[in-house]
Amino acid sequence: MKIFVSSTYIDLVEYRKAVERALNLLEQQFVGMEYFGSLSEEPKVAALDKVKACDAFVGIYAHRYGVVPDGDTKSITEQEFDRAQKSGKPIFCYRVKPDQPWNPKMIEGGDAQTKLDAFLARIDKQYVRQEFTTPEDLLAKVSADLARHLSTQRAETRFAHPLPPVPYYAHSYALQENFTGRVAERDTLTQWFTRDPQSVLVLDAIGGMGKSALAWVWTQEILHAAEERRVQNDMKPAGVFWWSFYEERETRPFLEKLLAYASAGQANLQSLGSDRERLDALLPLLSTKRFLIVLDGFERALRAYARMDAAYRGDEVDEDARQDFRACVDPNLARLLKHLASDGGLSKTLLTTRLYPRELD
């Protein structure tokens, strides 16, 4: 499919690149101003013709209204949206979150702001749109939405989320823009992923030490390194799966999502009646392909934090002589950890947790 990506440019160039990455990995064609080349027609005419010729439309909006051609009352960006709507194209719209840090020089005021507000209000009345923060966050959301749309266009496709090698962030992480430092730790993670035969690495520390932020930043770094061919081909991840046990600690949805992703949407989940069966189907896939699996907040799956008040519990836990407080509540998760550590095959698993799981002792 040809997918037209509309936005203002200078303020959203990195976000456009993220969407292009998503489309390339989904094997769809990115159509945007970057690749118009030299044409013997006005930019507005060229853009609107491209919109009409595409199969779907993605709009990305921040704090600039964009260029209004002489004699017009609307920006080219808004006119692109109008043409997509008039042509009956599937439309997917994304707006930066209001509290996302932004370069003040890229925020328009006055009449441009008034027109932008009216345009976005019109979108909100007519479409369900998403909000985004970072380029990686936008990539994850566009990937999921377009994968879901593609599944309705192809009868043989059975997925409603990204497929490998597109990263699947089942739960996104709201990283602050000012993350800096921890270079040595990030280098250690890269060495582990590319050279260390150890299949599982655990980042265990008390709460508030930045484990999740470190894991998130490094995950984006290893993906960029792979795309720029700074990682050997046999070391590149076949896919990345991020799951937050802070958001969802139940085993069934976790196994279903990971199995659906690792099987590239081919697993027949309805035929698997138990978590044990799901795990039996999953383990061979993790052994034969080099996935990067990030399990964030894994302490929520351990006995010490398997309580309704886990979100409010500090680092002081009730210990016992057998160390059961560090054990997985669910035996299927325990089996998964043991398999990943002892016979994980090609896949690599990174855990962030306040407690080191007993199954990995």
Q: Which domains does the chain have, with CATH numbers?
A: 2-153 (3.40.50.10140), 168-360 (3.40.50.300)
User: Lowest mean pLDDT: which of 96-110, 163-177, 322-336?
Assistant: 163-177
pLDDT of 72 above 80: yes
Stronger pLDDT, 177 or 342, i.e. the higher one: 342
- How far apart, in Å, are the Cα atoms of 357 and each of 170, 196, 228, 303? 22, 20, 35, 10
Residues 47-57: pLDDT tens digits?
999 999 999 99
> Higher-confidence residue: 176 or 102?
102
- 3 state DSSP class of 150: helix
Q: Which residues contact 186 (CB under 8 A, 6 or more apart)?
A: 214, 217, 218, 221
DSSP assignment of 241-305: EEEETTT---HHHHHHHHHHHHTTT---GGG--SHHHHHHHHHHHHHHS-EEEEEETGGGGBGGG
Does the pLDDT value for residue 116 go beyond 60?
yes
Determine whether 192 is exposed, middle or buried from the number of CB atoms within 10 Å of its CB (0-12, 13-18, 19+).
middle
Amino acid at 241: F
Contacts of 77 (CB under 8 A, 6+ apart): 6, 7, 8, 59, 61, 65, 66
Higher pLDDT, 158 or 274: 274
Q: Which of 12-21, 138-147, 148-157, 286-295 shows the lowest per-residue confidence on average (mean pLDDT)?
A: 148-157
| pLDDT of 225 higher than 80 | no
Q: What is the mean pLDDT of residues 334-352?
A: 90
Position 241 pLDDT exceeds 80:
yes
Query: Max CA-CA distance within the chain?
Result: 79
Distances (CA, A) of 12 to 17, 91, 132, 336: 9, 19, 12, 41
267-312 tens-digit pLDDT = 888 889 899 999 999 999 999 899 999 999 999 999 888 765 545 4
